[in-house]
Amino acid sequence: MSEKKLISSVKEDYKAIIRQCFTNYLIKNGYRKTPERYAILDQIYAQKGHFDVESLHNFMKENYRVSRATIYNTLELLLDCNLIAKHQFSSSNTKYEKTFNNGHHHLICSNCGCVKEFSDESIKRIIQHKPLRGFEISHYSLYIYGLCAKCAKTMEKSSTAILNDK
Ligand SMILES: [Zn+2]
Ligand SMILES: [Zn+2]
């Protein structure tokens, strides 16, 4: 099998696992297995990064028509079965992202609110191997607050300007 083929078949397996998780959850809780719900799940797992309801709704429009109400409702289900996570990076800004196979951390700028992701294998390993009194981790998120490079630079400039004014 060529490498490209192998990668695409791994992707297909992974998609099947996620769909199976969702199916188990829907059955267990007596929810209907509607094609809209699976279309939303597929869309979320096909895209990268953080999204909000509005951007997901816009992406969906291109391939599959679903109402905002269905999106809200499905996001609640996906949160409940831990296939997505909800982030409140700032008070006005609710974002979601997939959780499965998506271990990364967030750098949040306290000044402009931008969010950058980074991955660090050593942090991941520490968390995975930490004995947590029998607690089983499904996913986690780590927020690191500070100033992004751009804001830090702007602030540095304005503080030297103030100094020079004196
Ligand atoms: Zn910033
Ligand atoms: Zn993220």
Among the bound ligands, name the one nearest to the CA of residue 148.
1
Find the 103 Cα to ligand 2 centroid distance in Å: 8
Among the bound ligands, name the one nearest to the CA of residue 155.
1
> Same domain for 60 and 129?
no
Among the bound ligands, name the one nearest to the CA of residue 84.
2
Instruction: Point out the domain boundary residue: 79, 102, 125.
Output: 102
CATH number of the domain residue 32 falls in: 1.10.10.10
Residue 53, domain extent: 1-102
CATH number of the domain residue 158 falls in: 3.30.1490.190
The predicted pLDDT at position 2 comes to 53
> Same domain for 98 and 109?
no
> Same domain for 124 and 95?
no
Reported pTM = 0.74
Q: Can you tell me the distance from the alpha carbon of 135 to that of 9, in angstroms, rounded to the nearest whole number?
A: 33
The predicted pLDDT at position 6 comes to 55
> Same domain for 51 and 109?
no
93-98 and 84-90 beta bridge pairing: antiparallel
> Same domain for 122 and 147?
yes
Among the residues of the chain, which ranges form H helices?
3-28, 35-46, 53-63, 68-80, 121-129, 149-165
Neighbours of 122 (CB within 10 A): 7
Find the 31 Cα to ligand 1 centroid distance in Å: 42
> Same domain for 55 and 81?
yes
Find the 80 Cα to ligand 2 centroid distance in Å: 18
Each residue's pLDDT, cut to its tens digit, for the chain (166 residues) gives 455 555 566 666 778 889 999 999 999 999 999 999 999 999 999 888 899 999 999 989 888 889 999 999 999 999 999 899 999 887 777 899 998 877 788 999 989 888 888 888 888 888 888 888 888 887 777 889 999 999 999 988 888 777 776 5
> Same domain for 63 and 92?
yes
Number of domains observed in the structure of the chain: 2
> Same domain for 50 and 12?
yes
Instruction: Point out the domain boundary residue: 102, 126, 156.
Output: 102
